[in-house]
Amino acid sequence: MAKGRDLKPHIGIFGRRNNGKSSLINLMTGQEVAIVSEEAGTTTDPVKKSLEIFGIGPAIIVDTAGIDDSGELGEKRVKKTYDAIKTIDCAILVITKNEFGFYEKELIKQFRDYSIPYFIVHNKSDLQPLEQLTREKIRAFSKAEVIDFSVASNTHVDTLIELLKKTIPETSFQKPSLLGGIIEPNGVVLLVTPIDSEAPDGRMILPQVMAIRDVLDNDNICIVLKETHLKQYFDQHQPEPQLVITDSQAFGFVNSIVPPHIPLTSFSIVFARLRGDFEHYMQGTPTLSQLNDGDKILILESCSHQVSCEDIGRHKLPRWISEFSDKKLDFDIVAGLSDIPEISNYRMVIQCGGCVVTRKQLINRLRPAVNANIPVSNYGMTIAWINGIFDRVIEPFKNKTNG
């Protein structure tokens, strides 16, 4: 399964082997997406497929291996199934033959741990309908809704889709404004976008593109320039911007040029408000001034990319943090959505902007640290703290709601 590369809401299908999970996906997508076989264990790694759901929009269906798989290979498949829970926004638990026991309860426990909304589908009802005793057994353990369903007879598809629309969090498919509540209409917003070896050839990174669109959506004039033209802009007495957004790495330079009365922040911080764990970032960032020799810091990158000498997560941040703290620190870097080492080993966790993952994936990525009371921050807030301008770049967000 390609991890974390699609921002659409992710819907996971879970259950035992041969419960008809793959058939359910084929029915929902209207395509032969998943392999269907009478042989148990046909689905191995989680498989993703895009579909359009009326009332929700584009979504990703994630087909997982049977939770009751056995053997050495089966155990690896089951682990990947559990890992998939951390990446989804909503779950469908498929049962058959009125079986509701250990495997289903373990999945539901994981759904609860990761705050995943879910409902239960009793499949193959044409062979064996859902019994009242089974409903009562489920109700004793879970408040989730249960429907009787048959892929073979294609019954109650509309009921299934309506229940999905009801269960999936609206925040996973609604598109909140990046700058809503921060800027007023009919003004100027200045975007400072340095071009260095990390900038992709011939295009701009996603947070910059989203910012441009959001400025326009909020009925403002958007001006985009490199940091080398920032002083020229102000020297020429151009229209005063109501907000300046810069790449975090240029904070020190941009802060020295933008007049103190003009609000200043970064793409990373704006994006964290939309998709990150903003409040925990704010609480955890001051830990940078409390580090000691030997402390370990975990840096989380959401994407995998070619590393250059100017790479922020692997080179610049470790150097800047070490110089700022004047301590001998150890750094670990984990890219993509790979497994995180034992979280208790770390004094602090620093997350990238997360522009290639969903909010749920990012929040669940940080959940072990947050639950263990280990401070978390993100790239932008970390760089702002090191530059001594944390209060300034957070000011635009105080007492503001995301519109």
Give the pLDDT score at 3. Answer: 40
The reply to whether 4 falls in a domain is: no
Give the pLDDT score at 129. Answer: 93
Mean pLDDT of 327-347: 89
pLDDT at 154 over 80: no
Asked whether residue 41 falls in the same domain as residue 150, the answer is yes
CATH number at residue 325: 3.40.50.11410
More confident residue, 288 or 207: 288
How many structural domains does the chain have? Answer: 3
More confident residue, 36 or 351: 351
Give the pLDDT score at 221. Answer: 96
* Structural element, H or E, at residue 191: strand 188-192
Last residue of a domain, one of 113, 139, 172: 172
- Provide the pLDDT confidence category of residue 305 given band limits of 50, 70 and 90: very low
Asked whether residue 153 falls in the same domain as residue 192, the answer is no
d(Cα 276, Cα 281) in Å, to the nearest integer? Answer: 8
DSSP, collapsed to helix, strand or coil, labels residue 149 as: coil
Asked whether residue 209 falls in the same domain as residue 88, the answer is no
The reply to whether 403 falls in a domain is: no
Least confident of 119-133, 232-246, 297-311, 384-398: 297-311
Asked whether residue 162 falls in the same domain as residue 16, the answer is yes
- Helix 379-386, helix 317-325: angle, nearest 10: 40
The reply to whether 159 falls in a domain is: yes
Q: Which two tokens stand for residue 293?
A: 């020799």
Asked whether residue 287 falls in the same domain as residue 362, the answer is yes
pTM of the full structure: 0.70
pLDDT, tens digit (0-9, with 9 covering 90-100), for 371-387: 999 999 999 999 999 99
Give the pLDDT score at 148. Answer: 92
Mean pLDDT of the residues in the chain: 86
Last residue of a domain, one of 172, 207, 230: 172
Using alpha carbons, list the distances in angstroms from residue 319 to 105, 255, 312, 329, 331: 46, 21, 10, 10, 10
pLDDT, tens digit (0-9, with 9 covering 90-100), for 83-134: 999 889 899 999 999 999 999 999 999 999 988 999 999 999 989 999 999 9
Asked whether residue 32 falls in the same domain as residue 162, the answer is yes
Give the pLDDT score at 287. Answer: 98
For tokens 């959401």, the residue is 302
Give the pLDDT score at 200. Answer: 56
The reply to whether 178 falls in a domain is: no
Least confident of 30-34, 119-123, 364-368: 30-34
Mean pLDDT of 45-68: 82
pLDDT at 214 over 90: yes
Nearest to 127 by CA among 167, 157, 163, 98: 98
Nearest to 37 by CA among 52, 26, 50: 26
Mean pLDDT of 329-341: 85
pLDDT, tens digit (0-9, with 9 covering 90-100), for 169-198: 765 555 668 898 899 999 999 999 987 655
Nearest to 366 by CA among 241, 277, 235, 304: 277
pLDDT, tens digit (0-9, with 9 covering 90-100), for 306-330: 444 357 888 899 999 999 999 999 9
Q: Are 297 and 350 in contact (CB under 8 A)?
A: yes
The reply to whether 402 falls in a domain is: no
More confident residue, 6 or 296: 296
CATH number at residue 14: 3.40.50.300
Asked whether residue 239 falls in the same domain as residue 314, the answer is no
Domain containing residue 284: 280-386
The reply to whether 181 falls in a domain is: no
The reply to whether 5 falls in a domain is: no
Asked whether residue 20 falls in the same domain as residue 118, the answer is yes
More confident residue, 68 or 196: 68
Asked whether residue 34 falls in the same domain as residue 144, the answer is yes
Q: Are 128 and 137 in contact (CB under 8 A)?
A: no
Percent of the chain with pLDDT strictly greater than 70: 86
Give the pLDDT score at 262. Answer: 96
Asked whether residue 18 falls in the same domain as residue 167, the answer is yes
β-strands 57-63, 10-15: how paired? parallel
Asked whether residue 149 falls in the same domain as residue 242, the answer is no
- Provide the pLDDT confidence category of residue 74 given band limits of 50, 70 and 90: confident
CATH number at residue 266: 3.40.50.11420
The reply to whether 3 falls in a domain is: no
Asked whether residue 267 falls in the same domain as residue 284, the answer is no
Give the pLDDT score at 308. Answer: 41
